Structure 1
């Protein structure tokens, strides 16, 4: 595999924005991301700059990891957020232990099936464990079977925690987690 897996640098915000906009145009984006293309494209550059700084190489609370193709193009990404015990997460649940939270997983369709997602996950897990995470979790839409199959393949298991997304539409997300060995 001729791909480089690395954390982004703060000055690469424009490339991070571009890859995020590509991800939000994916046919399953409505199941995979709590964001829309229309909302994201309207955000000012300052939003993307701050987002990159907060998840760049050397940041302690999050890391955005990318897969860089042979020609330098960004073909995949994931972000790991660090959640501290005693805090409340984005959905209002208590965080009981220091944990990583994987979000924004995306590999461009033409690069899927060659092992990039596994390598991105390995790098994300390595970063989370190095930060002292006791477990790593992720939240996946109940109808996103493709993602659920992949998460199980790389060792994540459902925890039984259900995150209601839309009361009106009856949509839920499911928590999957991997405990530190």
Structure 2
């Protein structure tokens, strides 16, 4: 499969809404999201327009999508990255079932990693993976993410856990030489 990876634009709000609601309706993927289907389905057009435009409005967040080149550019998956100072926090990773295992996740992570590396102060990428999502955890491990030892409760089901994982980014040339 061939994909075009790009940042979401403000005019993409309807596709963004549809993809996020599909993620929340997916029984396998929904564990990865802190939002609920009902909560987001109730949001109006203005909410979705703001969310879609956040990357173009100087926000400290960017959402990348993978468009299926063989299916007229339909949205196959997405991920969002948040600028949290020295950390690029990856959230909202979702691939439609037909696109899992196709290389789309790698391409989306290439985009968020490039985004992080464009910020010289970012030293690591961070994400959380639900304990009932071993496929995602395996993928993150393959990319080099490791457990930090930190756990958090799933906000939708406090008895369940999420594992924090981190990927240290390579150090960058600062233009000065230490002596």
TM-score using structure 1 length: 0.86
Distance across 1 between alignment mates of 2:116 and 2:39: 29
Are 2:108 and 1:120 equivalent residues in the alignment?
A: yes
What's the RMSD between the two structures over aligned residues? 1.8
Distance across 1 between alignment mates of 2:103 and 2:9: 24
Give secondary structure in 2 for the equivalent of 1:170. strand
Give secondary structure in 1 for the equivalent of 2:25. coil
Cα drift, residue 167 of structure 1? 10
Are 2:33 and 1:33 equivalent residues in the alignment?
A: yes
Instruction: Report the counterpart of residue 14 of structure 2 in structure 1.
Output: 14
Do the aligned partners of residues 168 and 140 (structure 1) sit closer, same or farther apart at CA in structure 2, a change above 3 Å counting?
closer
Contact 2:34 2:156 in 1 (8 A): no
Q: Structure 1: which 5+ runs fail to align?
A: 85-97
Structure having the higher Rg: 2
Are 2:151 and 1:162 equivalent residues in the alignment?
A: yes
Do the aligned partners of residues 170 and 113 (structure 1) sit closer, same or farther apart at CA in structure 2, a change above 3 Å counting?
same
Could you list the per-position Cα deviations for residues 30-72 of structure 1 after superposition, in whole angstroms to 9, with x for gaps in the alignment?
421111211111111111111112134x745111001011211
Do the aligned partners of residues 41 and 115 (structure 1) sit closer, same or farther apart at CA in structure 2, a change above 3 Å counting?
same
Do the aligned partners of residues 167 and 146 (structure 1) sit closer, same or farther apart at CA in structure 2, a change above 3 Å counting?
closer
Q: Which deviates the most, 106-115 or 165-174?
A: 165-174
Alignment of 1:1-181 (within 5 A): 1-56=1-56, 59-70=58-69, 71-84=72-85, 98-132=86-120, 133-165=122-154, 169-181=158-170
Do the aligned partners of residues 126 and 50 (structure 1) sit closer, same or farther apart at CA in structure 2, a change above 3 Å counting?
same
TM-score using structure 2 length: 0.87
Give secondary structure in 2 for the equivalent of 1:28. coil
Do the aligned partners of residues 43 and 141 (structure 1) sit closer, same or farther apart at CA in structure 2, a change above 3 Å counting?
same
